[in-house]
Amino acid sequence: MIEKTGKLILAFILLCAGCLKAQEQVIDEVIWIVGDEAILKSDVEDERQSMLMAGEKFDGDPYCFIPEQLAVKKLFLDQAKIDSITISNSDVAKGVTRYENFMIQRAGSKEKLEEYLRMPMTQLREKWREDIKSDELIKRTRDKIIGSKVKLTPSEIRKFYNQLPKDSLPYIPTSVEVQLITYEPVIPLKELDAVRERLRDFTNQVQSGKADFATLAIMYSEDPGSANNGGELGFMGKTMLMPEFANMAFSLSDPKKVSNIVETEAGFHIIQLIERRGDRVNVRHILLRPKVSRDEINKAIARVDSLASSIRNNEISFDEATYFSSDKSTRNNHGLMVNQEESVYYGTSRFRMEDLPKEIALVVDTMKVGNVSTAFKMKLKTGREVVAIVKLKSRIDGHVANISDDYQALKAMVEEKKRQNIVRKWLKDKINQTYIYIDNDWKNCDFQYEGWVK
């Protein structure tokens, strides 16, 4: 039945293609059919261009690798429909904003990106919206397929380690544990007043009809994640926003009005309601950050360097000195940083050098264990500039993996291998159950998965 349906679809597509040729129109070419979904030659070329733009490397011949990956995606998306897996519009919108900023940064400007991809930004956003939605559906479908099947015991980890040939043991890069103290330079009251006055002026322009909020956001907002979209954030729940911002955003009821000025860790905002849907809200905002003067930065550096000297002279311990730190995430943990990057050390106090904020990594790279750095400037994720010192608590230099030092890394490797095996088995069964057609010119490939060519 599957094969018969697939052949009917193929016949219809080829018939339509023939009709178009007869009318001497330029047409695309169907190269694969997966179930009732066609993959076009243009789909492969579009994906190749996007991968090149994103700096991704091809795993083999792109004209073999890409069609197979597109086919795999279609299998996952078909399963997502079967399992009724969905994704919210707000999650998609956030993903589009992140990806747009990434691509603009890669291209150098919005105009260069549009020129390179030969498409206006409005069309690109719509394309990315579908791609990001598909990717998230695939991720959630994959997670459901794997479920709770990846459960490992310490004995399984040791068995995996012991069975690996010595020349196949993975190389573990240098990892460190770092304690941090930050200090925020004083921002003069005059600068704070100037920022508030500027935002009040924006509010007056919008309320009087002299300016459009979205246009002002594009021109002046210092939030790189939303400025290009006219300050729009997409639908979000309260927990997805900074508390002060969320309280103001969810108190708005009139889309024609502008909020009072609200202060968060990122700076000062004014907010305009776009739409409210139950426990989610879509707003646009303008963010301005008060500028820290060179004089105040120098004062902060001198103050923090003085604290570092007191630590080195044993007048106060680093743990005790964290009482003065402005960093909320580490202040109650003796300054010890916790790794929030997606890596084998996620959720632990260990960092690979590339997982650390770049300013900290540059300082830590040449330090010895137990040393306290001199004061240096760094920018927080919120965009706020602070002065910091760090202490290198421990360092494990790069080495071939061993079970005593690298249990977590080895555990992550075994878990990932188990996940891959579960997904590979599912794909093998799914391929066997699905009608697949591949054009003869696209069959001569060393595919990653078996069963495509029937």
User: Residues 271, 324: one domain?
Assistant: no
User: Residues 306, 175: one domain?
Assistant: yes
Q: Which pLDDT score, from 0 to 100, does residue 15 have?
A: 42
Q: Which pLDDT score, from 0 to 100, does residue 27 have?
A: 65
User: Residues 260, 315: one domain?
Assistant: no
- Total of domains in the chain: 2
Residue 86 included in any domain:
no
User: Residues 269, 236: one domain?
Assistant: yes
User: Residues 383, 345: one domain?
Assistant: yes
Exposed, middle or buried: residue 198 (CB in 10 Å: 0-12, 13-18, 19+)?
Answer: middle
Of 400, 425, 444, the residue at which a domain comes to its end is: 400
Q: Which pLDDT score, from 0 to 100, does residue 24 have?
A: 41
Tens digit of pLDDT for each residue in 272-317? 999 988 888 899 999 999 998 899 999 999 999 999 999 999 999 9
Residue 71 and residue 47 in contact, taking contact as beta carbons nearer than 8 Å: no
pTM above 0.85, yes or no: no
Residue 214 and residue 424 in contact, taking contact as beta carbons nearer than 8 Å: no
The arrangement of strands across the sheet holding 262-264 comes to 262-264, 267-277, 280-288
CA terminus-to-terminus distance, the chain: 15
Residue 158 and residue 403 in contact, taking contact as beta carbons nearer than 8 Å: yes
Residue 63 included in any domain:
no
Tens digit of pLDDT for each residue in 357-377? 999 999 999 999 999 999 999
Question: Quick one: which of 390, 399, 400, 337 has its CA closest to 365?
Answer: 390
Residue 348 included in any domain:
yes
User: Residues 307, 177: one domain?
Assistant: yes
Number of neighbours of residue 390 by Cβ within 10 angstroms = 27
Of 400, 423, 444, the residue at which a domain comes to its end is: 400
User: Residues 305, 181: one domain?
Assistant: yes
Residue 389 included in any domain:
yes
Residue 56 included in any domain:
no
Strand, coil or helix: 226 = coil
Of 254, 288, 322, the residue at which a domain comes to its end is: 288
User: Residues 244, 263: one domain?
Assistant: yes
φ/ψ region of 170 (left if φ > 0, alpha if ψ in -120 to 50, else beta) reads beta
Instruction: Taking each helix axis as running N to C, give the angle between helix 189-207 and helix 213-220, from 0 to 180 degrees, rounded to the nearest 10.
Output: 150
Residue 83 included in any domain:
no
User: Residues 196, 327: one domain?
Assistant: no
Q: What is the Cα–Cα distance from 76 to 319, expressed in whole angstroms?
A: 50
Q: Which pLDDT score, from 0 to 100, does residue 310 have?
A: 96
Residue 275 included in any domain:
yes
Could you tell me the CATH number of the domain that includes residue 279?
3.10.50.40
User: Residues 266, 332: one domain?
Assistant: no
Q: What is the Cα–Cα distance from 197 to 286, expressed in whole angstroms?
A: 13
Place of tokens 């040791």: 158
**Domain with 246 in it:** 189-288
User: Residues 182, 300: one domain?
Assistant: yes
| CA 46 to the chain's CA centroid | 22
- 4 φ/ψ angles, rounded to the nearest 5 degrees: -65, -45
Q: Which pLDDT score, from 0 to 100, does residue 167 have?
A: 83
Question: Quick one: which of 266, 272, 182, 202 has its CA closest to 233?
Answer: 272
Residue 446 included in any domain:
no
| CA 39 to the chain's CA centroid | 27
Q: Which residues of the chain have pLDDT under 50?
A: 1-2, 4-5, 7-26
Q: Which helix (H) or strand (E) holds 92?
A: helix 89-107
Q: Which pLDDT score, from 0 to 100, does residue 50 have?
A: 77
Q: Which pLDDT score, from 0 to 100, does residue 403 have?
A: 87
User: Residues 327, 266: one domain?
Assistant: no
